[in-house]
Amino acid sequence: MNSFPSLLPGLSRITHHASRLPLFALFAFFCGQSFAQDANVIPFQGQLANQAGQPLTPTNAVTLVFRLYTAPVAGTAIWEESQPNISVNAGRFSVLLGSRTQLPAQSYFNSTLYLGITVDDGDPQTADVEMRPRQALVPVISASYAKNADKLQGYDWSVFVGATNPVDGRIQGSKIADASLPASKIADGTMPASKIVEGSITSNQLAVAAIYAGNIAESNITLVKLAQEVVDSLVPPGTIAAFGGEIPPRGWLLCDGAPYPASGAPYNRLYTAIGVSWGFVYPGQFRVPDLRGYFLRGKDPGLGRDPDSLSRTEIAAGGATGNAVGSLQADAFRSHSHTVSVAKNPGLSDTQGWPSLDNHLSLRSSDHFASVNGGSMTAGGLVENSGDKETRPKNAYVNYIIKY
């Protein structure tokens, strides 16, 4: 037989008939949740009484079985724990739910759960009936807020500042949306240069006219700290310049055909710009241009200004050929001819006055020609070579250097 009379404000009497125990009633007068860091338990106290409300003290310790449900009746238990050897004094007992079997996930406690209690009579041959009604475990609002007091809307500080303790962390750049922090929100002097990580602000992240000379304190930005992106905007990697000294300045290399590693700082950006157009060493290396003793010529993009562009060769093994940057062209004379004029010997007749030139009217440097001897001309001889070892304009030496 089961009955449900109200005994105390806010408490209900639960009666249960067990085959080997007198009729019991349970008064639940305290139930709280305690979520420790390592183990979650629920302190639970109650009182056993008979139907007349008289406290009971069994002669032996009893075993109580506790179950948690998501519904007040029926359903399947989401958690079960047996508490043996429970001492009962004047009907009162106290247990820690979850001390023997881990409680379900804390997310279950965000809504009302229902605690079912069964008194085990110790006889495995009889079925023990769960007391009714089940005890409602209502979430305590203040406890829920206390649990999240060290979080932002339930999220760890580490999600926002990269550390569980905000004192030790800093706001991650990925959490700041583009254009969400305008310059007007940054007070003067609140962000000194020492607080800006090198390379964290690139030129394409600066709005036009957002930084002007009046906003930069004297000596606050040095050449060493000047962002690499700004330097690259002024002189991009791969730029070739004439240099009047012997030792290249910082950030530049001599155009001497030397090999360098293609990956990793500081030469990877130069490799991205020029590749192996100026020579290939082996996988993972490239050569800078070897411009020692050479003039530079602009690439002809099909205009016909270099009629021999397709015959250009590589400047170093594995380099570019044909009509491509990095290719080489040997020195040469443009094809041409010379005309030799002769005059009649005025002391001879018209038929005898012309010198014999072996029927050559125009002579090249390797042709025989008529030499002058005592006022007369006879066939034979060579055009003599004249000039220097190369064709060149007036020039002055410089070192070609390339930006890396």
Regarding whether 132 and 109 lie in a shared domain, the answer is yes
**Average pLDDT of 278-292?**
94
Residue 315: Cβ-neighbour burial (10 angstroms; 0-12, 13-18, 19+): buried
- Residue 80 confidence (pLDDT): 94
- Residue 17 confidence (pLDDT): 35
Would 150 be classed as within a structural domain?
Answer: no
φ, ψ for residue 96 (rounded to 5)? -115, 105
- Residue 233 confidence (pLDDT): 80
Would 162 be classed as within a structural domain?
Answer: no
- At a CB cut-off of 8 Å and minimum separation 6, what does 165 contact? 157
CATH of the domain at 104: 2.60.40.2060
pLDDT band at 381 (very low <50, low <70, confident <90, very high): very low
Query: 22-36, 94-108, 223-237, 284-298: which range is least confident on average?
Result: 22-36
- The rounded distance, in Å, linking the Cα atoms of 174 and 238 is 32
The contacts found for 225-228 with CB under 8 angstroms, 24 or more apart, are 225/193, 225/198, 227/199, 227/201, 227/202, 227/203, 228/199
Regarding whether 102 and 20 lie in a shared domain, the answer is yes
- Residue 260 confidence (pLDDT): 97
- Residue 366 confidence (pLDDT): 43
Regarding whether 256 and 367 lie in a shared domain, the answer is no
Would 398 be classed as within a structural domain?
Answer: no
pLDDT tens profile 353-373: 555 544 444 334 444 444 444
**Average pLDDT of 56-79?**
90
Based on the structure, what is the number of domains in the chain? 4
pLDDT band at 348 (very low <50, low <70, confident <90, very high): low
Regarding whether 305 and 352 lie in a shared domain, the answer is no
Which range of residues forms the domain containing residue 367?
336-385
**Average pLDDT of 370-386?**
51
- Residue 10 confidence (pLDDT): 30
Regarding whether 262 and 314 lie in a shared domain, the answer is yes
pLDDT band at 378 (very low <50, low <70, confident <90, very high): very low
Regarding whether 294 and 224 lie in a shared domain, the answer is no
What share of residues in the chain are helix, strand, coil (percent, to 5)?
15, 25, 60
Contact 229, 198 (CB under 8 A): no
pLDDT at 37 over 50: no
- Residue 402 confidence (pLDDT): 97
- Residue 373 confidence (pLDDT): 44
Regarding whether 280 and 345 lie in a shared domain, the answer is no
**Average pLDDT of 110-133?**
84
pTM: 0.40
- Residue 344 confidence (pLDDT): 57
**Average pLDDT of 30-42?**
56
pLDDT at 263 over 60: yes
pLDDT tens profile 190-224: 777 777 777 677 777 777 777 777 777 776 666 55
- Residue 67 confidence (pLDDT): 94
Regarding whether 317 and 277 lie in a shared domain, the answer is yes
How distant, in Å, are the alpha carbons of 33, 39, 70, 78 from that of 108?
Answer: 13, 16, 8, 9
- The rounded distance, in Å, linking the Cα atoms of 13 and 26 is 6
Would 349 be classed as within a structural domain?
Answer: yes
Three-state DSSP class for residue 233:
helix
Would 272 be classed as within a structural domain?
Answer: yes
Would 1 be classed as within a structural domain?
Answer: no
Regarding whether 99 and 10 lie in a shared domain, the answer is yes
pLDDT above 90 coverage of the chain, percent: 32
Would 86 be classed as within a structural domain?
Answer: yes
Mean pLDDT of the chain: 76
**Average pLDDT of 34-59?**
74
- Residue 234 confidence (pLDDT): 86
Regarding whether 28 and 90 lie in a shared domain, the answer is yes
- Residue 180 confidence (pLDDT): 80
Regarding whether 318 and 247 lie in a shared domain, the answer is yes
- Residue 245 confidence (pLDDT): 95
Regarding whether 72 and 195 lie in a shared domain, the answer is no
Contact 63, 84 (CB under 8 A): yes
